[in-house]
Amino acid sequence: MFDQNEALDEHNASSSMNPQAKALYLNDPKFLAELRLMMLKFAKLQLADEALAEDAVQEALIGALKNAGNFERRSALKTWVFGILKHKIADILRKRQRYVEASSLLKEDQEDDNMEQLFTDHGHWHKHERPANWGLPHEAVKQDHFWRIFETCLHGLPENQARLFMMREFIQLDADEICQSLDITTSNLHVMLYRARLKLRECLENKWFLKGEATGAGTL
């Protein structure tokens, strides 16, 4: 089903990796359980359907673990497993005519509007809402606590906005592809992504970047 599988089989045949190292991941139930949970969380948010998400994760894991020995580092394995899952989810979304009623997307969008809190009547930032300089955002990704904040902020988004954001930024589907699979217009997509990003950045700024944790000076 996936090109990656074929590529990997070839790679497998020529792999010279130590068989003992290969067995490590497969014999670590804790690692597998955690990986599965993480994938499931991701798939559920994308598909909004528990059964479909379970199936997609199951398939991706089985396919991936057959070839797990190719990865010396767990993070490399994870990247690859998520690559497979990403394709599975994209497939499901493509096949589905519309998995969320366009009307419900729009309704949620109208109900949720915090623009006045951010901008003045003239459309300029309120002074206390003006985006700050995040310094070196690449430093943040190295810190475990940052990821907890990131998840909190992501889960704080309205569900449909979170899903759209993940389709675009996590799975990196084309804007056109997303519009087709959800049967929404391009301008709807732009508005929803804009709102998702506005909220996400605000949340990250308030909960992380303005707290001094980015520099390691903050208390947990």
Using CA atoms, how far apart are residues 22 and 161, in angstroms rounded to an integer? Answer: 40
Extract the tokens encoding 15: 């792999």
Using CA atoms, how far apart are residues 159 and 48, in angstroms rounded to an integer? Answer: 9
Single residue of 91, 107, 114, 131 touching other proteins by CB under 8 A:
131
Stretch that binds other proteins, among 44-52, 87-95, 137-145, 212-220 (CB under 8 A): 137-145
Site string for other proteins, 153-172 (x = CB under 8 A): ------------xx-xxx--
Using CA atoms, how far apart are residues 43 and 125, in angstroms rounded to an integer? Answer: 36
Using CA atoms, how far apart are residues 210 and 128, in angstroms rounded to an integer? Answer: 12
137 touching other proteins, by CB under 8 A: yes
* CA 173 distance to own-chain centroid: 12
Stretch that binds other proteins, among 7-15, 63-71, 115-123, 155-163 (CB under 8 A): 115-123
The strand ranges marked E within 100-149 are: none
Contacts with other proteins, residue ranges (CB under 8 A): 31, 34, 38, 42, 73-75, 78-79, 82, 86, 115, 119, 122-125, 130-134, 137-138, 140-141, 144, 147, 150, 165-166, 168-170, 175, 186, 189-190, 193-194, 197-198, 200-201, 204-205
